[in-house]
Structure 1
Amino acid sequence: MAKVTLEKIAQEMGCSKVAVYKALSDKKGVSEELRARIKTYAESVGYVRHPSLLEAKNKKFIFFISQDFFLMPSEQYYSTIFYFLSAECNKSNSVLQIAFLEPQKTFERMEGVIASYKPDGIFIAGQIDEAIMKKLDKIVPAVIVVDYFSPLYPGNYVYVDNFHLSYILTRFLLGKGHTHIGFVGDVTKTSAIADRYFGYLKALNEAGIAPDADWHVNVNIERNIDVPVISFKNLPTAFLCHCDAAAQWMYTSLAIKGLHIPDDVSVVSFDNTALCDSLMPKLTSAGPQKDYYAKKAFGAMLEVLANRNRTIHVPIKTNLVERGSVRTI
């Protein structure tokens, strides 16, 4: 099918290209009758507007996130994405305001913030209930969910394929000769952790390895006030931690037991934050580039602002960065 352009629409409508642009951008300068005819025709031929920074110029956005995620001392994932996303907004002279998600009456609190700030669009970081997303779509022009995907609701998602990433990371450990691999993370807490766990299981299954229940530390150890002392009857040769912060706590827990990384136990994790380079040895981790993530999230916002009826799913590419926390056996 030939590409539908503004020029082709103008020819069909018998008007100028500028008139078509104004009509589709809801700008002044064309009659309402012509605007309606142009929009109806454009939709019938499948025209999709290409967004630009003009779509977000002088606009206001909110970045909703769980306070626990953002304010954790070791948290460098969402805070870094927010930093780069704010920079993207600044390029169009727009403002990104942060707001925290409350565990109780979540939608009502969000609705209050939205009513007060009157944003042109919102970003939501992490997992959010589909029922809340449905309500938000009725009161906000554009909603972009960052770092989460749900097949249950047709929202706009910019996300990492955690299942596939975990599969690749587990295959990496298998390639290093590890067959006794543990997983650290509470699979009931978020779909991201569950996806990572099942990706890990798939890789083990393909390798003909039955996971030992004792290898699964089914708790988010980075959330503990005290450093956890983990006891294993059958210690794995490697741990796959659900995030870099969990891996940091695993470093400490293993050190308390007199074990050394990677000589005694190898450790890998997800997110690939700056924390990885501050640990000794430096941590092997897989995750997205945060500036790239932010650019894609902002680009998705522009797409939705330009095409309000369009649903966007943007998978984010990731990198596995090998450092010093894994040995070959």
Structure 2
Amino acid sequence: MSTRATMAEVAKAAGVSVSTVSRVLADKPDISEETRDRVTQAARATGYVLRTERRRQLGGILDLLVEETATPWAAELVDGAQRAAFGLGYTLALTPVAHPRFRLHDWIDTRRARPSDGILLALARPGHDEIAALAELPVPLVLLDPVGAQGSEVPTVGATNWSGGAAATRHLLELGHRRVGFLGGPAKAPCTRERYEGYLAAHRECSLAPDPALTRYGELGVTAGAEGTAALLALAAPPTAVFAGSDVLAAGAYQTARARGLRVPEDLSVVGFDDTAICAMLTPPLTTVRQPLAEMAAEAVRLIDQEQARRGSPAGRGSSTGRGSSAGRGVELATSLVVRQSTAPRPAHRDGRRQR
């Protein structure tokens, strides 16, 4: 069947005006469902290619917003999103929002002029106003961990942070450690809270009460990890092990340990979170919780593609916002502990002693 049908032919087949066809195909809200379905069916019957189908044939564009691109965490997300997008016929447009000239509301204005086919948001601490503004764009929006966005109507893709935090802490406790430090990212970030709750749960399993002094929060970077570890090691009774909420925080723990003349893992065991490329670069290789970042990004792309397909079907017409029928859907992929050489049994000679 020819795909060169005109709107006039669609209007004739549907028994409506050309302007009505135009409004239906543009997803205008003031059209009855009966008219919308009749026009959509007529478009397909005459061979007119619907807007969403035409984009899919020509290759659409997906936008991925990340804090910055030069991190192992972002690299995993970008790789997963690119592979999935390419497989589904999309081009991935990458935007690092940490650039000093980036303004989210300005970016939203440009997307109103040049709509994409979907937005993946992977920011540590986006504000509710920003999420709401993005959700008002007429394209699907998916939030990627560590956004979490608890209570949001926007679909999310994350990982089992609680289970990962519990597994990391349990591993250290089973090695005999009784003073386990927690190095977290931003305290208000949902993923940080969930990993900390897992840390607490593992202690409860062993009938232990963790010392609140062993908890430190900060930015997700090597410097924050180094400073947090320095504060922990300065305690009168320092930890013999540290669970870091990211691999880069764990790298900071390595840095401070070596500066203090401590060996990993003989004097200080360290566990990270994410399982990025940095784990193999550290000496010794880092024990960590694998967060399937690439798979999470790929799942987010698939959610957007499914929403685009839904909007192209008769049942899905009329959804003009980013919320769509998948609003509020949350997907969590499993984490797993990867044991390498950065953890060992508790060093008895260090228990309760201040580090030099």
- TM-score band by shorter chain is 0.7 to 0.9
Report the Cα distance in structure 1 between the residues aligned to 2:268 and 2:211, rounded to whole angstroms. 16
Q: Structure 1: 5+ residue runs without aligned partners?
A: 1-25, 27-31, 40-51
TM-score for the superposition, normalised by structure 1:
0.76
Counterpart of 1:120 in structure 2 is: 117
1:309 and 2:325 aligned? yes
1:286 and 2:303 aligned? no
Identity of aligned residues (%): 23
Report the Cα distance in structure 2 between the residues aligned to 1:247 and 1:226, rounded to whole angstroms. 6
Aligned pair count reads 284
Report the Cα distance in structure 1 between the residues aligned to 2:88 and 2:220, rounded to whole angstroms. 40
State which of 96, 106, 110 in structure 1 corresponds to 2:107.
110
Deviations 1:248-293 (A, max 9, x none): 1110100111111111110001111011011111001112233322
Aligned-pair Cα RMSD in Å: 3.1
Report the Cα distance in structure 1 between the residues aligned to 2:178 and 2:223, rounded to whole angstroms. 29
Q: Structure 2: 5+ residue runs without aligned partners?
A: 1-24, 26-32, 41-52, 311-323, 347-356
Change (3 A) 1:227 1:162: closer
Report the Cα distance in structure 1 between the residues aligned to 2:119 and 2:91, rounded to whole angstroms. 11
Report the Cα distance in structure 2 between the residues aligned to 1:150 and 1:171, rounded to whole angstroms. 27
Counterpart of 1:80 in structure 2 is: 76
The offset of 1:106, in angstroms, is: 5.0
Counterpart of 2:221 in structure 1 is: 222
Q: 1:138-153 to 2 correspondence within 5 Å?
A: 138-147=136-145, 148-153=147-152
Counterpart of 1:168 in structure 2 is: 167
State which of 86, 91, 108 in structure 1 corresponds to 2:87.
91
TM-score for the superposition, normalised by structure 2:
0.71
1 or 2 for the larger relative contact order (CA 8 Å, sep ≥6)?
2
Change (3 A) 1:108 1:296: same
Counterpart of 1:263 in structure 2 is: 266
Counterpart of 1:7 in structure 2 is: none
State which of 232, 235, 240 in structure 1 corresponds to 2:235.
232
Counterpart of 1:192 in structure 2 is: 191
The offset of 1:141, in angstroms, is: 1.4
Change (3 A) 1:35 1:217: closer
Rg larger for: 2
Counterpart of 1:298 in structure 2 is: 301
Counterpart of 2:158 in structure 1 is: 159
Change (3 A) 1:221 1:81: closer
Retained in 1: the 8 A contact 2:220–2:246?
Answer: no
Report the Cα distance in structure 2 between the residues aligned to 1:204 and 1:104, rounded to whole angstroms. 45
